[in-house]
Amino acid sequence: MIIRFIATLGIALSLSATAPQTARADAGEILGGAVVGGVIGYAIGKDQQRKQQARTTTRTTRTYRPGIPSTSQGAQTQTALNYFGYNAGRVDGQVGRGTRTAIERYQASMGYPVNGYDFQPYQYDFLNQAYYWATSGGQAATQLSGQPLLMAYRRQIQTGTTLAATPQVAAPATPVVTPQQPVVAPQSEVAPATSTTETASNSLPTLFSGGTARPSLANRCSAVMLQTSTNGGYTTLANMSDPDFALSEQFCLARSYAMARGEDLMQNIQGLTPDQVSAQCDSYGETLAPQVIALSLSSKADAETQMRKYALDTGLSPEDLAATSKVCLAFGYRQDNMNTAVGSALMLVAMGEPAYGELIGHHLREGFGVQERRDLSMQWYDASLSALDAGSQAVFLPSQSDRPQLLRAAMIQAQ
């Protein structure tokens, strides 16, 4: 249960009475502040540093083209560039000459247009997708490093071969919260037969149990980014000819954005290592698995109502559950654990953040982590976009003001 997750997590932080305002930076938001009594405690400290980051980003926006990452994204870019041997120098988040030179080396090796001042989103996304893959098992599997590792990743995407990385977490042998089905057996059933019946009742028979590999969203997004690179950039309202591919691009962009925000949040978690948080998020995903399964079987209204009721039954505050979900959403995507990712997105919607419903629409449309239901996906897309129209806060690429219009146009054409 979620309660068990909270008890295991057990982080006690001393938080101030008021939370600082969220600082926003260019194409990426930096979440400041903390949730009082949060499940995964956010350290409040460094408020002045947050404000300085906001001021620095403002100057950066005036100095560089929009494609140059903000302070938070800059640090992620430097980390990935250094990992693959492009030598961006010290990781400080400041995009200076050294970082731009490293970007140009990366662009040249990938065959992109070389301009350190024009770091296109698809170039940034592919770099970070490769970094997440490599650090999640790709490097260990290939035994390569530096640029050869990046090129091996690209070759596997181009050829459509399975990428070596941390596999998606399989369903546990003993369900954590799945209600046990009643055992129907004759009164005269002897003990051994009853035991057999109980075992069978816990797992309904399926001809394909364990025999079919689940599709990898990480692999799919890597292929999408590669095609975007070939196309010369992301689909826009002006040039959209394939609405399905446009939606896939936006899906992968939102996924990358969620992972990037998770990296920011991890820096503020005290008392747990990333591996420990990852393990807790795995448990969180197992807990929410029944709600994830129900997404393919229920209307949006019913699925959201059931999740809200489930959250209420835990006795935890919406703030605590939302804080946990934002971190676990990132870990779920990084590890290709769809129960964790989809469950976290659904919890966020239930806790009053409807913009995350876009992710559920994407998952239902493409069938990652849930059964493909394009009809239901449109309910989630429409509700998410309608919430944005009504003034809800955008959570994915908020600086791109025309993104909702692109999503709606693609959604309508894809029906």
Rounded Cα distance between 192 and 56, Å, is: 70
For 124-211, strand residue ranges (E) read none
Domain co-membership, 223 together with 324: no
272 and 361, same domain (yes or no): yes
Residues 221 and 300 in one domain: no
In a domain, 85, yes or no: yes
Give the count of beta carbons closer than 10 Å to the beta carbon of residue 37: 15
Tokens of 48: 């002045």
Residues 317 and 367 in one domain: yes
Q: Are residues 346 and 260 in the same domain?
A: yes
The whole-number pLDDT of residue 265 equals 84
Is residue 227 domain-resident?
A: yes
Pairing of strands 23-25, 28-30: antiparallel
The CA distances from residue 84 to 98, 103, 143, 144, in Å, are 15, 11, 13, 10
Total structural domains in the chain? 2
Per-residue model confidence as pLDDT tens for the chain (415 residues): 455 444 344 343 333 233 333 333 322 222 222 222 234 433 223 333 444 444 444 444 433 344 444 567 888 899 999 999 999 999 998 899 999 999 999 999 999 999 999 998 889 888 988 998 899 888 999 999 999 999 999 988 887 765 544 444 333 333 333 333 443 344 444 444 444 344 434 444 544 444 455 789 988 998 998 899 889 889 999 999 999 999 999 999 999 899 888 878 887 888 888 889 999 999 999 999 999 999 999 999 999 999 999 999 999 999 999 999 999 999 999 899 999 999 999 999 999 999 999 999 999 999 999 999 999 999 999 999 999 999 999 999 898 899 999 999 999 999 8
Contact (Cβ atoms closer than 8 angstroms) between residue 348 and residue 356? yes
Are 271 and 378 part of one and the same domain?
A: yes
* Tokens linked to 195: 């035991």
Alpha-carbon distance of 327 to 344, in angstroms, equals 9
Can you give the pLDDT at residue 213? 59
Question: For residue 242, how many other CB atoms are within 10 A of its CB?
Answer: 15
219 and 265 share a domain? Answer: no
Nearest one of 131, 129, 146 to 251, comparing CA atoms: 129
d(CA 397, CA 395) in angstroms, rounded, equals 7
Tokens of 376: 């239901």
Amino acid letter, residue 246: A
Instruction: Check whether residue 400 and residue 266 sit in a common domain.
Output: yes
Query: Has residue 392 been placed in a domain?
Result: yes
pLDDT value of residue 175: 33
Let me know if residue 14 belongs to a domain. no
In a domain, 148, yes or no: yes
C-beta separation of 341 from 332 below 8 A: yes
**What would you report as the CA-atom Rg of the chain, rounded to the nearest whole angstrom?**
22
pTM for the model stands at 0.69
Q: Kindly state whether residues 220 and 263 are assigned to the same domain.
A: no
> Are residues 348 and 227 part of one domain?
no
Indicate whether 34 belongs to any domain: no
- Whether residue 253 is found in the same domain as residue 291: yes
Q: How far is CA 65 from the centre of its chain?
A: 26
Please tell me whether residues 293 and 223 are part of one structural domain.
Answer: no
Give the span between the Cα atoms of 113 and 64, in whole angstroms.
17
Domain of residue 162, residue span: 71-119+121-166+215-232
Task: With CA atoms as reference, report the closest residue to 112 among 229, 237, 33, 269.
Answer: 229
